[in-house]
A and B are shown apart, each in its own frame.
Chain A
Amino acid sequence: MLRQWGPREAIGALWGEEEQRNEGARSPAKRAKDMELAPTIEVRDLEERTAIRLKDITKTFGEVVANDAVSLDVDWGEILALLGENGSGKTTLMNMLSGIYFPDSGEIQVDGKTVTVRSPKDAFGLGIGMIHQHFKLVDVLTAAENIILGLKGQGKLDRKAVARDIKAISEKYGFDIDPGQKIYDMSVSQKQTVEIVKVLYRGANILILDEPTAVLTPQETDKLFAILRNMKADGKAIIITHKLHEVMDISDKVAVLRKGKYIGTVNTSETDPQRLTDMMVGRAVSLDIDRPRAEHRNLRLEVENLTVLSGEGVKMLSGVSFSAFGGEILGIAGIAGSGQKELLEAIAGLQKAQAGAHIRYFPPESEEPIAGKHIPVKRDGEELVGKNPTQIEKIGVSLAFVPEDRLGMGLVAGMDMVDNMMLKTYKNGRGPLVDRRPPKKLAEDLISELEIVTPGVGTPVRKLSGGNVQKVLVGREIASSPTVLMTAYPVRGLDINSSYTIYHLLNEQKMKGVAVLLVGEDLDVLLELCDRILVLCGGKISGIVDGRSTTKEEVGLMMTHLPGGREASAVSVLQAGRTERGEDQ
């Protein structure tokens, strides 16, 4: 931090430092033109078509080498897809281009000139704009305020002029945006739109989109790609990062990173997903996920008319009813914030259900392998509504829950593995003292069974990599021999290997007769792994479909449409789901 603002500079810089930039903030068109004429971005002649060139970029975080001598090129009017697993260093590389991180060594060229990008401000100056995976927007401000944030202009804000400029950009590329709307009232795709307009407003000619489709429905993705093609036609250079699938549709070239190393660049037209995956992982991998059928398939959970309010009184879940079965993976799809979190937390006893709701639990049959480990409960279903996690556990229900926020909810980031292992069992044993021997044993077992990479059981889990953190959490939950296993985004941020370990563990639990509830964001995975998929839309169920027969497009549509006149297929699926439940009872 000293470098940005050492105490000495503090007095001198004052607010006026930014004055030098962007005096023409009112006219984006004019500014864009200035940018083309600016000394760093020369008038594009036909010979020099390279917009961005990275040479031998290296970046380390402590011991971890995030980027190891990475080089790549992007031309004007071209879309480059940067491909790599989680943890391969894509985001780090892009963050260096946009001034968030500073490289340890290497060279960045923009339009043929060597440049140094020390801050996002430098990046804007060079016409580079990045749309981050986690949107960089201020919730309590409006779209317009977010867009002009940090720009120079008159001291006083002229909101009308800003709104006019935003309209102009929106019309040019086909955005739909209300400048006066607050960010906290917006959907995910609206927020993304604001982010894109924000960088265009600043006159960006080079756009970086970090996993832009991860949060979108297939239909929203198509819309975004149409806009990106408009920009490409406009001569802009675009880099998008993603894991795999959409890359084929939109990109001209694909560059692949693996474990921080640059593997190579291929033309999209000359490759296919399997070859790209092999490049990403470094060996031939099967992309297929197993979906075995379980022997026992008995009703385990019956949720009826579940309504959950947020702290502010907004309905996060509204009249949700469904059943979950042992020996099945029930996928839960929906755009982010459709009530997935509330649903799992309500079942786990962490959210208050409104009156009239029922969550009934049915224990496994005696012939099942997971039976017998639990105190018998009522045969006609044990009511979970109104019970907290401790009470639920006391009546013999073994619920395992892998929440979305691993280090903020599922684990204690600052504690070591031993203390994390006993999070739910620390009360075991008599007396006021904790017994750290069983959790220590469990921690050691998990390290060897799940191949967790850690200096030792005494290392704070915060210091472990994302994949290992998830193994610690999932391992602990499965070790409690559950009859219901709920997981939210279990492979988010994990590399392919760890992801497959997790899929395997989920399948293993399912085959034992456990009812698995899986909240996911990657539809391709849900479609391959789940027996049934429940689709949430704005806190309501828009349908439950069969995982083996449905399509990505169908689920995608249901994510944004509730069953109504037009969505006949969704309605019929919903009815199908109900019939199925009826039969099983």
Chain B
Amino acid sequence: MSSQVKAAALREPLVRIAKRTDISKGQAWAIRAAAILLALVAGGLIVLAMGHNPFLVYADMAGGALGNKTGLKETVKIAVPLLGAALAIAPAFKMKFWNIGAEGQILAGGIAATYFALFWADKLPQVPLLLLMFLAAAVAGAFWGLIPAVFKAKWGTNETLFTLMLNYIALGIEQYLQNGPWKDTKGTGFPIIAQFAKGARLPKVFGVHAGWIIVLIFVVLMFLYLRYTKQGYEISVVGESEPTARYAGMNVSKIIIRTMCISGAIAGVVGFMTVSGADYTLNANTAGGVGFTAITVAWLAKLNPIVMVFIAAFLAVLTKGSGTIQTNFGIPKSMADVLTGIILFFMLGCEFFINYRLIFRGKGEAHHG
């Protein structure tokens, strides 16, 4: 044995970790709030490094996103699909089915809705047309979510990558439609899809498309579904332990498939709201990364739909605010992604301090010569 090892062996470890059980809900949320604050400080350092005053930048972000009516409307418009997609992800994640394919499911829904908007607008009045688009989007989204679920249920195929690949496939299909069969023939020759007719547009309520009402209804429904229904209970059990679910006589395959249909359907409706309420057309940006950011929202909210409302609003402020600071300070818009990433890092990290406590050397030193 070398002398180095022996010397080291005489000292107690610098820090030890022990589980803690004694933390109150209030303390836990205080730790989380502190984490967000620290994340903003870390983001501020980047801003500072770029030669700007972080306080001014943050103030400008908040002002741009919340300070005036136009900004506020824009922020809500960003929050709606984010919240919707987070709600879509919630039941899947609760089941530990890592659906990172909300992006593709949104697109699938958008494509289906667009089909009716383009080819049925002259045949149907507005309300039935919108209902049809809503339903078509839900069905298409559900189908896109169903594919990986079937393979997962049957063979345990890795759903993380499967759902992700389906995002790119959906995008390829959208690009094909946009460049080929659905290309606007009356336009400039640029490969875009025509703007929807009036009848295929979601009406505005208080200046923002009615999607915000739909999504708030979904919040309540999802909250009740997960907490008080038999199906919600099944999702929780499958998520905690598949053997237990089988032991309890649950049909795990059926539950996985059913839950992913619900998840995909909600994402599909988000696609409908985006094409019919926000953009009045379908393009490669219809999903625009919402499906990924929504994972952040769902996770930060600990899959609680009510909390998701606030997290989605917060991230929407960041996104809208990043647009504002790009104009005013010349800071690239990707700042929103950087900040989101940093906040997520801090939130993920802070859970540790909620679950464990650190014991530093010193306390026990008296016992060790």
Direct contact of A and B (CB under 8 A): yes
CB-based nearest B residue for A390: B249
CB-based nearest A residue for B246: A350
Q: Which of A1-9, A234-242, A494-502, A567-575 forms part of the interface with chain B?
A: A1-9
Contact A116 B249 (CB under 8 A): no
Partner of B248, one of A2, A104, A389, A433: A389
- Cβ of A365 within 8 Å of any chain B Cβ, yes or no, is no
- Cβ of A125 within 8 Å of any chain B Cβ, yes or no, is yes
Contact A20 B4 (CB under 8 A): yes
Contact A389 B364 (CB under 8 A): no
Contact A102 B18 (CB under 8 A): no
Contact A415 B246 (CB under 8 A): no
Chain B residues contacting A61 (CB-CB under 8 Å) are: 18-19
Contact B9 A414 (CB under 8 A): no
Partner of B240, one of A35, A106, A350, A415: A415
Instruction: Tell me how far the C-beta of A484 lies from the nearest C-beta in chain B, rounded to whole angstroms.
Output: 15
Contact B9 A116 (CB under 8 A): yes
Partner of A408, one of B1, B20, B243: B243
- Cβ of B17 within 8 Å of any chain A Cβ, yes or no, is yes
Partner of A434, one of B6, B12, B233: B233
Partner of A20, one of B2, B16, B18, B364: B2
Question: Contacts A39-B6, A415-B236, A426-B230 known; A350 to B247 CB distance under 8 Å?
Answer: yes
Instruction: Tell me how far the C-beta of A184 lies from the nearest C-beta in chain B, rounded to whole angstroms.
Output: 20
- Cβ of A150 within 8 Å of any chain B Cβ, yes or no, is no
Chain B residues contacting A35 (CB-CB under 8 Å) are: 1
Q: Which of B5-31 contact A (CB under 8 A)?
A: 5-6, 8-22
Partner of A21, one of B1, B11, B247: B1
Most buried by A among B1, B9, B10, B17: B1
Task: Kindly state the separation between the CA atoms of A353 and B114 in the bound complex, as whole angstroms.
Answer: 50
Instruction: Tell me how far the C-beta of A311 lies from the nearest C-beta in chain B, rounded to whole angstroms.
Output: 11
Contact B9 A2 (CB under 8 A): no
**What 1/0 flags go to A31-62 for Cβ under 8 Å of B?**
00001001110000000000000001000111
Contact B243 A122 (CB under 8 A): no
Contact A3 B16 (CB under 8 A): yes
- Cβ of B241 within 8 Å of any chain A Cβ, yes or no, is yes
Chain A residues contacting B369 (CB-CB under 8 Å) are: 114
- Cβ of B237 within 8 Å of any chain A Cβ, yes or no, is yes
- Cβ of A117 within 8 Å of any chain B Cβ, yes or no, is yes
Contact B13 A118 (CB under 8 A): yes
- Cβ of A293 within 8 Å of any chain B Cβ, yes or no, is no
- Cβ of A444 within 8 Å of any chain B Cβ, yes or no, is no
- Cβ of B367 within 8 Å of any chain A Cβ, yes or no, is yes
Task: Kindly state the separation between the CA atoms of A463 and B355 in the bound complex, as whole angstroms.
Answer: 13
Most buried by A among B14, B15, B241: B241
Contact B240 A117 (CB under 8 A): no
Question: Contacts A21-B5, A62-B20, A434-B233 known; A116 to B244 CB distance under 8 Å?
Answer: no
CB-based nearest A residue for B366: A105
Instruction: Tell me how far the C-beta of A412 lies from the nearest C-beta in chain B, rounded to whole angstroms.
Output: 5
Instruction: Tell me how far the C-beta of A321 lies from the nearest C-beta in chain B, rounded to whole angstroms.
Output: 25
Main secondary structure of the interface of A (DSSP, over half): loop
Question: Contacts A117-B9, A408-B241 known; A463 to B2 CB distance under 8 Å?
Answer: no
Partner of B243, one of A102, A105, A388, A409: A409
Contact B230 A21 (CB under 8 A): no
Task: Kindly state the separation between the CA atoms of A405 and B13 in the bound complex, as whole angstroms.
Answer: 35
Contact B19 A38 (CB under 8 A): no
Contact A21 B2 (CB under 8 A): yes
- Cβ of A63 within 8 Å of any chain B Cβ, yes or no, is yes
Contact B241 A388 (CB under 8 A): no
Question: Contacts A2-B17, A38-B1, A116-B368 known; A122 to B240 CB distance under 8 Å?
Answer: no
- Cβ of A411 within 8 Å of any chain B Cβ, yes or no, is yes
Instruction: Tell me how far the C-beta of B222 lies from the nearest C-beta in chain A, rounded to whole angstroms.
Output: 14
Contact A122 B5 (CB under 8 A): yes
- Cβ of B206 within 8 Å of any chain A Cβ, yes or no, is no
- Cβ of B229 within 8 Å of any chain A Cβ, yes or no, is yes
Task: Kindly state the separation between the CA atoms of A115 and B241 in the bound complex, as whole angstroms.
Answer: 43
Chain B residues contacting A405 (CB-CB under 8 Å) are: 243
Task: Kindly state the separation between the CA atoms of A354 and B368 in the bound complex, as whole angstroms.
Answer: 62
Partner of B233, one of A126, A350, A419: A419
Main secondary structure of the interface of B (DSSP, over half): mixed
Instruction: Tell me how far the C-beta of B23 lies from the nearest C-beta in chain A, rounded to whole angstroms.
Output: 11
**What 1/0 flags go to B98-131 for Cβ under 8 Å of A?**
0000000000000000000000000000000000
Contact B247 A2 (CB under 8 A): no
Task: Kindly state the separation between the CA atoms of A490 and B229 in the bound complex, as whole angstroms.
Answer: 32
Contact B367 A393 (CB under 8 A): no
Contact A423 B13 (CB under 8 A): no
Instruction: Tell me how far the C-beta of A313 lies from the nearest C-beta in chain B, rounded to whole angstroms.
Output: 16
- Cβ of A413 within 8 Å of any chain B Cβ, yes or no, is yes
Contact B228 A433 (CB under 8 A): yes
Q: Which of A429-468 contact B (CB under 8 A)?
A: 432-434, 463
Chain B residues contacting A125 (CB-CB under 8 Å) are: 1, 5-6, 9
Contact A424 B248 (CB under 8 A): yes
Contact B249 A393 (CB under 8 A): yes
Chain B residues contacting A114 (CB-CB under 8 Å) are: 368-369
Chain A residues contacting B18 (CB-CB under 8 Å) are: 60-62
Task: Kindly state the separation between the CA atoms of A118 and B6 in the bound complex, as whole angstroms.
Answer: 11
- Cβ of A403 within 8 Å of any chain B Cβ, yes or no, is yes
- Cβ of A246 within 8 Å of any chain B Cβ, yes or no, is no
Contact B17 A1 (CB under 8 A): yes
Chain A residues contacting B19 (CB-CB under 8 Å) are: 61-62
Contact B233 A410 (CB under 8 A): no
Q: Which of B185-204 contact A (CB under 8 A)?
A: none
Q: Which of A288-322 contact B (CB under 8 A)?
A: none
- Cβ of A401 within 8 Å of any chain B Cβ, yes or no, is yes
- Cβ of A107 within 8 Å of any chain B Cβ, yes or no, is yes
Question: Contacts A423-B237, A423-B244, A426-B233 known; A389 to B249 CB distance under 8 Å?
Answer: yes
CB-based nearest A residue for B231: A432
Contact A434 B247 (CB under 8 A): no
Q: Which of B150-190 contact A (CB under 8 A)?
A: none
Task: Kindly state the separation between the CA atoms of A434 and B232 in the bound complex, as whole angstroms.
Answer: 9
Question: Contacts A21-B2, A116-B368 known; A2 to B244 CB distance under 8 Å?
Answer: no
Task: Kindly state the separation between the CA atoms of A38 and B247 in the bound complex, as whole angstroms.
Answer: 55
Contact A106 B244 (CB under 8 A): no
Most buried by A among B3, B22, B232, B240: B240
Instruction: Tell me how far the C-beta of A476 lies from the nearest C-beta in chain B, rounded to whole angstroms.
Output: 11
Chain B residues contacting A4 (CB-CB under 8 Å) are: 13
Question: Contacts A61-B19, A116-B368, A432-B230 known; A102 to B13 CB distance under 8 Å?
Answer: yes
Task: Kindly state the separation between the CA atoms of A394 and B9 in the bound complex, as whole angstroms.
Answer: 63
Task: Kindly state the separation between the CA atoms of A30 and B52 in the bound complex, as whole angstroms.
Answer: 67
Contact A411 B244 (CB under 8 A): yes
Chain B residues contacting A40 (CB-CB under 8 Å) are: 1, 6
- Cβ of A136 within 8 Å of any chain B Cβ, yes or no, is no
- Cβ of A159 within 8 Å of any chain B Cβ, yes or no, is no
- Cβ of B307 within 8 Å of any chain A Cβ, yes or no, is no
Contact B240 A115 (CB under 8 A): no
Task: Kindly state the separation between the CA atoms of A423 and B369 in the bound complex, as whole angstroms.
Answer: 54
Contact A118 B17 (CB under 8 A): no
CB-based nearest A residue for B21: A62
Contact A116 B247 (CB under 8 A): no
CB-based closest 9 A-B pairs: A389-B249, A3-B13, A390-B249, A20-B2, A409-B243, A2-B15, A423-B248, A412-B240, A105-B367
18 A-B residue pairs with Cβ-Cβ distance under 8 Å, sorted by A, are: A1-B17, A2-B17, A3-B16, A40-B1, A102-B12, A107-B367, A114-B369, A116-B9, A116-B368, A118-B9, A348-B247, A389-B249, A411-B244, A423-B247, A424-B248, A426-B248, A432-B231, A433-B229
13 further contact pairs, Cβ within 8 A, besides A39-B6, A62-B22: A3-B13, A3-B16, A4-B13, A39-B1, A116-B12, A125-B1, A388-B249, A408-B241, A409-B241, A409-B243, A424-B248, A426-B234, A433-B230
A contact residues vs B (CB 8 Å cutoff) = 1-4, 6, 20-21, 35, 38-40, 56, 60-63, 102, 104-107, 114-118, 122, 125-126, 348, 350, 388-390, 393, 401, 403, 405, 408-415, 419, 422-424, 426-427, 432-434, 463
